[in-house]
Chains A and B, each alone.
Chain A
Amino acid sequence: MAYNPEDNALAETEAPGTPRSPEGWVFDVKRFAVHDGPGVRTTVFLKGCSLRCVWCHNPESINPHPELLFHPTRCIACGACLEVCPHGAHRMTTKGARTYDRNLCVLCGRCAASCYAEALVMAGQRLSVEDVMTVVRQDATFYTVSGGGVTLSGGEPLFQGAFATALLRQCNAEGFHTALDTCGHVRWAIMERALPYVDLVLYDLKHISPPRHQQYTGVSNRLILENLRRLSRSSVPIEIRMPIIPTINDSRETIDAAARFLASLSHIIAVRLLAYHRLAGSKYHSLGRENTLPDVTPPSGRQMQRIAGWIRQHGLPVIVPETIDTS
């Protein structure tokens, strides 16, 4: 993989498309996204991330290149994948179940193309800016009526910085509100380049403690916090997103330290708490990866409210997800 460690992003020479017409690897374009910024939005999920958060809910977003997912419940055992695979990566067991050897797989995608039951699916498609905009434009009325727009997310959208910037620029040009959901772990220049086209930044803060951050995400938070400081000196509004994972980042000490840091910055319009859940386990399975999701109970509504209270004491507005009372 052409990772540029100085950028903490994809090497721009390796990006698909051309500098004038950049393309990118996108693994989903989700319409009717309600919690990714204001109003009704379309969220574009770019592939690739320089972090390795153990609680990642989108493990298929980490590798920037397309990869193969297998959903066993959809398999109809027709054997088409066996026939088309040039490297024999697919086998049928004596019991009629399909097995797959990733070591033999070159990710050519032929099996996914021949799998009509969509048990084998390539996560990630190479798209141009125009490809993405074609989908984005379809919900224009919904954006207008709700004050919504487009959100770039992923993975880490700035991992494919040139493509992300081109997308944001085009959204701008067409009058769509833009939000960028980023973890901030890229070279500042890459973020800076995208900023003129961003109306709202959604900035993830996973752990305030540098060694804990390293432990759980694979990288230090030094660059992330530095970028956040720089960001807060520009004029773009910032919504901080804090995933709350019990026993890992929810102690009073940790929360207070994070809140103290955030309170020292300008342009932080809100802190949104995201409750951890464990529903993404099957995605790891589909990818053939080890499930790293921490085996902890998701935080209760009361815990979330308590944490919100701690943060509010620092003078920061906090948004906590609500549940609907249907009783």
Chain B
Amino acid sequence: MTTQARATAAQPTQGAFERSRDHLFHQFQEIPFDPKTGRSPRELEQDIEAYLQAHPDVPRVLQKAHVFHLVVTRGQIYVDPLDWFVGKLNHGGHVKRPLYGDEDSLVRRLSLRWLDEALDGVLAAEATWLDRAYRLGQASGPRGGLDRGHVAPGWYTLLSGGLVGLLTQVAEARDALGPAATAEQLAFYEAVEIVYRATLQLAARFAQQAETLARAYPEHARRLQTIVLACRNVPAHRPRTFHEALQFMWLLHELIEMEGEHVRSMGQFDRTLYPYYRADIDSGRLTRDQAKELIKFFWFKFYSRTRGHENGKNFVFGGQYPDGSEITNELTYLGLEAYEELNTPDPKLSVRFLPTTSDTLYRRVADLIRKGHNAVVLMNDVPAVEALVKRGKTWEDARLYLPIGCYEPAVEGKEVGCTMNLTVNLAKGVELALHDGRDPLSGEQIGPHTGDPRGFTAFEQLWQAYTEQMDFFLERAHECIRTAEGQWPQINPSPLLAGSLDDCLRRGKDVGQGGAHYNSVGFVGAALANASDALLALKQVVYDDERFTLDEVLTAVAANFEGHERMRQYLINRVPKWGNHHPEADRLAKRIADYYCHKVHTFTNGRGGPCQAALFSLDFAWQGGRRTGALPDGRRAYEPLAPGLGATYGRDRKGVTALMGSVTQLDSTLTPNGAVLDVTLHPTAVSGEDGLAAMVALIKAFFAQGGYALQFNIYDVATLRDAQRYPENYATLQIRVTGWSVYFTTLSPYEQDQFIARISHGL
């Protein structure tokens, strides 16, 4: 940029965001695409069909790339004169469907078509098996077992050399292979070139449109000129300014999602963006407040699209560089300030803590959360990094982990994690073990015959049956997933994403072909508390104390405890439960966790990489709960399963330190894919200076004892009841549902009651 251009680059004025907030809130509602700027989605659809018809035998990665090119170079665009960022392309995905969010873009629809084809064809057997498993509550997961929804692009890689830099790498990689390059590899390289060049064309189109608008809206000319200059530089080249860096990320985010993978992590905010921020501040181009305005314009895009109805876009703060030095800097605190002022549940933040992290950051984050900005996950770098190293990452790489989605780490720029490939119901194995492999709710024989448990004379036999049921399920599920992965290149080729990840270009392989440096599949273990509480109840009442026979318990369970309330109360109140720091309960839960993690870690995925275990539940707590029958710990059929790593609702009765005491018995280095504890506290516990210090102490002590990650809900029931009665007074009250937060007043009355019931147990 010339000195003159630098001098004229505009910056937002103080309060600019607030003034535009209402307008920006509607930015994704009925976008006024100008027909003069290109072809409508209907017309593009025709173009796409025509292309596909004419090129049926072209490798799919190239078909995808061409379709991408069609949409991106020909589709209508819109530049909003009030916005600091551009990116609105009419790709067919902006139509709202009331319950399901956006329509899929034309490009993504192609992948979905290919997915349907595979599910009906080559993956039919696996899809059927997995569907039944999902239906019966053994697990949940993506259709067909292929996780197309949990990646972090290589933001750092993208920004450092721009797309022109990556195009150079494509050429170099192809040359390096020389005549040994296969047709597949060449097709891949060509596809990457096509999509990257198309992207550059799109940027040029935005620049041109912005220039046109600058003439039409002289009062916005300075901002529009800044956008023009930005789009002429990014994403082609490395950004020259903080604004350009954000613009780069926004555009690529839109395009990668359009291409067909959900972008779940926006990277390490205070690492990726820091050099640009620093340079702007030091040169006087930007003030701290102006930077904050830009962050708000940028972040608000996520919320204005989802309105809090999706899981939130994850931005990471804190953490460390590959050499172990701490990242936390001015941008960390600026980001947290922007987040607080924005007061939306989307984006959501993850903050990584090291043993050397200053008290200032702990206090800042704790204070944010106790004031209600609770879309924050706090992560403990020590076990998180070590867990990844145990699964084959180098220390330097592991330090670059990003939580993908809600909680699950992947190495930035080098890993395709498929982190939510399967969520496994650990409690279902208990049901199956008690019924010789038959699922009691549906009556279907879905597990192996492990014997009539009435014949067992010792707890160890029941344990044996449990692990056999779980082994059988996990092994089958793993096979299905491997098979699905094999079809990935045919279903969802992703050249745009692939170019940003090591080592796809070097190897000439797409993400679906295992081109990335690390390729993982995540197996999430849910309902640990339920499995453990149920097994311990049987151990104690049937085998240790002989208080009831197994037959008596099974009869009660079959009746959903109707007519057996006294026994149910005994099972609930007289048997120790997970989450109370009771040695025997903790030992058994740890035994289950160890078993599960070790089992998962014996698997290799379809792309040759490791499978990684996690322990949490997200919304499977409810989904899976509805498909799990009554359990011997007193839980009735269809009730929710335990949230995250914690106790079953209402069973943790010794307070938060006891809950943490239990959870820190688990080996966090066995959960490379994440493990999160939900903590519910009453506001009085964290009020005042005492309360803030107590909250910080909880976090520090939890981490010092090896805990992996935490999130908080801080409420009293009275406030929530009041919010039900007078929602207009509580429009911005956020609650932490599970891996994401929502505005309480947007929930249905039923959901609100459920949440209140859930948290009043913890108080």
- A residues apposed to B, CB below 8 Å: 30-32, 34-35, 38-40, 76, 78, 80, 116-118, 138-139, 141-142, 144-146, 148, 321-326
Complex CA distance for A39 and B701, rounded to whole angstroms: 12
Query: Is B651's CB within 8 Å of the partner chain A?
Result: no
A315 to B476, CA, bound (A): 74
Is A145 in contact with B661, judged by CB distance below 8 angstroms? no
A34 engages B566 (CB within 8 Å): no
Kindly list chain B residues whose C-beta atoms are within 8 Å of the C-beta of A323: 683, 687
B565 touches A138 (CB 8 A): no
A141–B704 touching, CB < 8 Å: yes
B113 within 8 A of A: no
Q: Which residues of chain A come closer than 8 Å to B701, judged between CB atoms?
A: 40, 139, 141-142, 144-146
Contacts A116-B569, A118-B573, A138-B581 given; indicate if A145 touches B700 (C-beta within 8 A). yes
Q: Which of A30, A34, A118, A321 has the most B CB atoms < 10 Å from its CB?
A: A34
In whole Å, how far is A299's beta carbon from the nearest beta carbon of chain B?
15
Q: Tell me if B691 counts as interface (CB < 8 A to partner A).
A: yes
A-B contact pairs, 19 of them (CB 8 A): A30-B655, A34-B685, A34-B686, A35-B684, A35-B690, A40-B697, A78-B569, A118-B569, A138-B581, A141-B701, A142-B701, A146-B696, A146-B697, A321-B688, A322-B687, A322-B691, A323-B683, A324-B370, A324-B686
In the assembled complex, the Cα of A326 lies from the Cα of B698 at a distance in Å of 21
**B448 vs chain A, min Cβ distance (A):** 35
B101: Cβ under 8 A from any A Cβ: no
Expressed in whole angstroms, the Cα–Cα distance for A145 and B697 within the complex equals: 6
Please name all residues of chain A whose beta carbon is closer than 8 Å to the beta carbon of B685 when the two chains form the complex: 32, 34
Does the CB pair A40–B694 fall under 8 Å? yes
Closest to B699 in A: A145
Expressed in whole angstroms, the Cα–Cα distance for A40 and B655 within the complex equals 12
B372 interface hit (Cβ, 8 Å): yes
Residues of B within 8 A of A138 (CB): 581, 657-658, 661
CB-CB < 8 A to B694: which residues of A?
Answer: 32, 34, 39-40, 146
By the criterion of a CB under 8 Å from any partner CB, how many residues of chain B are at the interface?
38
Please indicate the chain B residues that have their CB under 8 angstroms from the CB of A76 in the complex.
565-566, 569
Interface residues of B (CB under 8 A from A): 370-372, 565-567, 569-570, 572-574, 581, 654-658, 661, 683-688, 690-691, 693-694, 696-698, 700-701, 704-705, 714, 719, 733
**CB–CB A326/B704 < 8 A:** no
With a cutoff of 8 Å between Cβ atoms, the chain B residues found around residue A118 in the complex are 569, 573
> How long is the Cα–Cα vector from A35 to B661 in the complex, in angstroms?
21
CA distance A90 to B68 in the complex (A): 78
B654–A31 contact, CB under 8 A?
yes
Residues of B within 8 A of A34 (CB): 685-686, 690-691, 694
9 smallest A-B Cβ distances: which pairs? Answer: A146-B697, A116-B569, A322-B688, A117-B569, A116-B570, A34-B694, A142-B701, A32-B655, A145-B701
A residues within 8 A CB of B687? 321-324
Contacts of B693 in A (CB 8 A): 39, 146
Nearest B residue (CB) for A36: B690
Complex Cα spacing A117 to B654, Å: 18
B657 near A139: Cβ-Cβ < 8 Å: yes
**Of A32, A35, A80, A322, which is within 8 A of B657 by CB?**
A32
Asked if B371 contacts A31 (CB within 8 A), the reply is no
Q: Chain A residues with Cβ under 8 A from B573's Cβ?
A: 116-118
Give the dominant DSSP class at A's interface. Answer: loop
> Which residues on B sit within 8 Å (CB–CB) of A39?
693-694, 697
In angstroms, how far is the closest chain B Cβ from the Cβ of A133?
Answer: 15
CA distance A321 to B690 in the complex (A): 9
* CB-nearest residue of chain B to A148: B697
Query: Once the chains bind, are B661 and A116 in contact (CB under 8 Å)?
Result: no
Q: How far is the CB of B587 from chain A (nearest CB, A)?
A: 15
Minimum CB–CB distance for B569 against chain A, Å: 4
**Contact A31/B569 with A146-B693, A324-B371 known, Cβ cut-off 8 Å:** no
Give the complex CA separation of A148 and B685 in angstroms.
Answer: 15
Which chain A residues lie closer than 8 Å to B719 at the CB level? 326
Residues in A neighbouring B686, C-beta threshold 8 A: 34, 324
Q: How far is the CA of A138 from the CA of B657 in the complex (A)?
A: 9
Is A116 a contact partner of B574 (Cβ separation < 8 A)? yes
User: Which residues of chain A are near B569, meaning CB under 8 Å?
Assistant: 76, 78, 116-118
Evaluate whether A31 and B688 lie within 8 angstroms (CB atoms) in the complex, with A40-B698, A76-B565, A141-B704 already known. no
CA A323 to CA B685, docked complex, whole Å? 10
A42: nearest chain-B partner, CB-CB: B657
Least Cβ–Cβ distance between A96 and chain B, in angstroms:
13
4 more contacts with CB within 8 A, not counting A116-B570, A321-B687, are: A118-B569, A145-B700, A146-B700, A326-B683
CA distance A39 to B694 in the complex (A): 6
Chain B residues whose C-beta falls within 8 Å of the C-beta of A80 in the assembled complex: 566
A210 to B329, CA, bound (A): 59
The distance from the CB of B570 to the nearest CB of chain A, in whole angstroms, is 4
**For residue A142, which residues in chain B have a CB less than 8 angstroms away from its CB?**
657, 697-698, 701
Cβ-defined contact, B371 with A326, below 8 A? yes
With A34-B691, A141-B701 already in contact, the answer to whether A40 and B372 are too (CB < 8 A) is no
- A31 to B684 Cα, complex, angstroms: 15
Residues of B within 8 Å of A139, CB to CB, are: 657, 661, 701
CA distance A324 to B655 in the complex (A): 21
- Distance in angstroms from B95 CB to nearest chain A CB is 36
Bound-state CA distance A40–B693 (Å) is 8
Q: Give the distance to chain B from A219, nearest Cβ to Cβ, in Å.
A: 30
CB distance from B699 to the nearest CB of A (A): 9
Residues of chain B contacted by A324 (CB below 8 angstroms)? 370-371, 683, 686-687, 714
Whole-angstrom distance between the alpha carbons of A326 and B720 in the complex?
12
Cα–Cα, bound, A117→B657 (Å)? 25
Chain B CB within 10 Å — which of A38, A118, A144, A322 has the most? A322
| Distance of A32 Cα from B370 Cα, bound (Å) | 17
Distance between B352 CB and nearest chain A CB, rounded to angstroms: 19
* Smallest Cβ-Cβ distance to A76: which chain B residue: B565
| In contact, A31 and B705 (Cβ under 8 angstroms) | no
Contact in complex: A31, B658 (CB < 8 Å): yes
The complex places the Cα of A142 from the Cα of B702 at a distance, in Å, of 8
